[in-house]
Structure 1
């Protein structure tokens, strides 16, 4: 028996597909407009983001002081002053030496890539294809530009010192107000919203804050451990530029997966240029051991729960963030992806049908 195509079902399917496509295009248009507005307001959004990230790091101490009888304003002031003292110490002891050695670090990476290129062009590989040569030249240029951007981001936070100081001052003021008035924000927000939004948005905001705080604090702790262990290993081997390499390792920890690969690659290249192949292999072994300890020991101990993101999603998010906004985009890509996942999980919870009650057997 031959089945005939139902014109009614076909029209319904086409209408459904057209409606779905139109809705999807509308969502993409809204996202494009949102990104455009975000770019136009970046001078305000960037200090807000930095202030939120600083607040996630300092909130546990402020919460501890508040629970022990300190007034909110006094606790926020004490934590802000302490943060300024710590930041000043970091600038004096770490950032200034790193900035003074950044040119040497960049030159070492470029020389290391050139050595790899020369080795690949000789026996036994004998790679001399023009496309590979162009790719290596592109890698040299990108490594030089990317590493320079990383060092600039670490030292100044933005492209110029003036903007960096303005961003730092605004971020500190915002951090103070977040620490002082943060717990009152969600109740205030709930009173401003109508109907069900008064429940949904504060719930999503609370979950997003918990996720963001967990990510920033855990990555900072893991990055600090990585930087200390790898820095000690480089110092024992006798590799130069230990301090900037340790700082690079710490900052790269905030870009999961790709950051560790990038920092390890730079350390091996520096060892290859200044110490030779044997020490470069020793450094590679040290980095592999530390990364294994990080993945199997440090992160399970420090992170009480993961972000709930697959490794492929993290890779795609970091790649997209880097292509859209460079180093800053790479640093913010995973937290943004995690916040999107929080919103999606909440929507899925609200749209899911309740599980049917099991039928009792009589």
Structure 2
């Protein structure tokens, strides 16, 4: 009797495991299909993503104007024009000098790598220079082969520029409509969805919006602080290309962990080539101090800066995103991981014995679509 009961329990456990495995496999297949569809729709999805990022940065100003009684269309128009003026000023004052010095920045990085290569070839590492040269030559050959003919390269470059301009224009228009009509989205979505979905999806969308806005604004603020302090340190030491390095530091802040390491590595290489080993060590110390201040001082002062993700999860997400979609994947990996964490947290709440009620703010329902 005991053996029969044990066999029954074993079969039940196997059936349960098989059912869970089949369900997990189905989820993975559906995720793969969703990613494939996303890739096919990327020319439309990418401007939408950029428009959402821009909206998270500009919404506080639009919300301020709307609370002062401005009509939504007028507030969105003013904020959009101000945004374009600010971007135009940045392009005129920063991007043009940075572009003019980009060649020097590239040459400096290459020279720094050559110095490191020469140092690695000597004691105590004694790495065979022939092996290093072979690896570099293989990488260069692969890049050259992937580029194809000169005509193809030129056409690809022109196509990239045109696509970038189209994406920017679409993103600005979408930002305007998000600023103007965004607070109406969740009530409209609630009316369109049946049954429990009318509660679940708007709640997850609201939390996801809060998470996305918190990440973008906090990373922009921290990136600005890093760029200012590190740029001042480079300027005091007399390191060249201060402005390009400061801009690189700011942009790299949107890729947590990896971005800071990359920007710091470039700054140290430039200091090593131009000013010598002593100044390079000083630059490294400045970067470490600024990063420590960011983690221990700036971060507690900025409300809701983090996404609630462990540093190891962030690192793995950035690595996976970069391997799948290059720079764009690295930029979107952490926000995507944060949104996945939001969905999982909500599902876990609903499956628990005592599900937590979603936090709501006082005010009209339409205001829930955007963070305060």
Normalising by structure 2, we get a TM-score of 0.86
Q: 1:139 to 1:124 in 2, by over 3 A?
A: farther
Deviation for aligned residue 1:8: 1.9
Q: How many residues are aligned here?
A: 342
For 1:295 and 1:141, how far apart are their aligned partners in 2? 41
1:124 Cα deviation after fit? 2.6
Q: Do residues 301 (structure 1) and 301 (structure 2) align?
A: yes
Match of 2:86 in 1: 86
Query: 1: CA distance between counterparts of 2:325 and 2:337?
Result: 15
**Cα offset, 1:161, TM superposition:** 1.7
C-alpha contact (below 8 Å) 1:321/1:332 kept by paired residues: yes
CA contact (8 A) 2:215 2:305 kept: no
Cα deviations across residues 90-142 of structure 1 (Å, max 9, x unaligned)? 11111122222222212211221121121011123322287666667789999
Alignment partner, residue 106 of structure 1? 106
CA distance in 1 between partners of 2:71 and 2:4 (Å):
77
Deviations 1:275-307 (A, max 9, x none): 111110111111111111111111211233531
**Are 1:328 and 2:331 matched, yes or no?**
no
CA RMSD of aligned residues (A): 2.5
**Of 51-60 and 239-248, the range deviating more from structure 2:** 239-248
Q: 3-state SS of the aligned residue for 2:342?
A: helix
Q: Is the 8 Å Cα contact of residues 299 and 305 (structure 2) preserved in structure 1? A: no
- CA–CA separation in structure 1 for the residues paired with 2:225 and 2:270: 21
Deviations 1:175-213 (A, max 9, x none): 000000000100000000001110111011001101100
Listed one character per residue, the Cα deviations across residues 27-68 of structure 1 (whole Å, up to 9, x for unaligned) are 111111111111111110010000000000000000000001
2:342 matched to 1:342? yes
Q: CA deviation at 1:3?
A: 8.2
Distance in 2 between residues matched to 1:338 and 1:310, nearest whole Å: 11
Contact 1:318-1:333 at 8 Å conserved across structures:
yes
Q: 1:159 to 1:128 in 2, by over 3 A?
A: farther
Other structure's SS at 2:187 match: helix
2:18 and 2:317 map into 1 onto residues whose CA distance is: 29
List per-residue Cα deviations over 1:320-358 (Å, max 9, x = no partner): 000011111101100010011000000000000129xxx
Cα 1:272–1:141 shift into 2, 3 Å? farther
Structure 1 spans left out of the alignment, 5+ residues? 144-157, 356-362
Asked whether the equivalents of residues 113 and 140 of structure 1 are also in contact (C-alpha less than 8 Å), the reply is no
User: For residue 161 of structure 1, what is the aligned residue in structure 2?
Assistant: 161
Residue equivalent to 2:312: 312
Aligned to 2:211: 211
- Whole-angstrom distance in 2 between the partners of 1:139 and 1:288: 31
Residue number in structure 2 paired with 1:45: 45
The separation in 2 between residues aligned to 1:314 and 1:203, in whole angstroms, is 24
Distance 1:283 1:335, change over 3 A: same
Q: CA deviation at 1:6?
A: 2.7
| 1:286 alignment counterpart | 286
- Report matched runs for 1:216-295 at 5 Å: 216-295=216-295
Q: Secondary structure at the match of 1:52?
A: helix
Looking at structure 2, the residues matched to 259 and 246 of structure 1 have their Cα atoms a distance apart, in angstroms, of 13
**Displacement over 4 Å in runs of 4+:** 2-5, 129-143
Would the aligned equivalents of 1:186 and 1:202 in 2 still touch at CA under 8 Å? Answer: yes
Within the alignment, does 1:198 sit opposite 2:193 as a pair? no
Residue aligning to 1:155: none
- What does 1:160-179 correspond to in 2, within 5 Å? 160-179=160-179
Q: Secondary structure at the match of 1:160?
A: helix
Scaled by the length of structure 1, the TM-score of the pair is 0.89
Is contact 2:218–2:305 with CA below 8 Å preserved after alignment?
Answer: no
Structure 1 residues 195 and 72, CA gap change in structure 2 (3 angstroms): same
Per the alignment, residue 360 of structure 2 pairs with none
3-state SS in 1 of match to 2:127:
coil
What is the DSSP-based 3-state SS (H/G/I as helix, E as strand, rest coil) of the residue aligned with 1:69? Answer: coil
